[in-house]
Amino acid sequence: MSSTARGHCGTLAYAEPVAGFLSWWDGVELWLSGLGFVLQTLVVMPVVLALAYGLAILFDGGLGQGIRVLRRLRHDEPDR
């Protein structure tokens, strides 16, 4: 590996953003764990519900496309 792909201490260059994100995540986790249960719920639930809604939309679209492709393939087969 070339020396330009390495960071300051010989680590890979992509390790720095990951370490920064993990440091940020640790701070968020520490802040959240310091809140009371009701406040934790009020902060976490909108995020979880938004993620669940987004995943449901993606899965619905993907499964719908898959069903359309299977129907098209089934109708394109010659009758025996």
Range of the domain at 14: 1-34
pLDDT for the residue 78: 64
CB 44 within 8 A of CB 52: no
Q: Structurally, how many domains does the chain consist of?
A: 2
Asked if residue 40 and residue 28 are part of one domain, the reply reads: no
Torsion of CA 16, 17, 20, 21, to 10 degrees: -150
Q: What is the pLDDT of residues 26-79, one digit of tens each?
A: 999 999 999 999 999 999 999 999 999 999 999 999 999 999 999 999 887 665
Rounded-to-integer distance, Cα 46 and Cα 38, Å? 13
Asked if residue 41 and residue 16 are part of one domain, the reply reads: no
Asked if residue 12 and residue 2 are part of one domain, the reply reads: yes
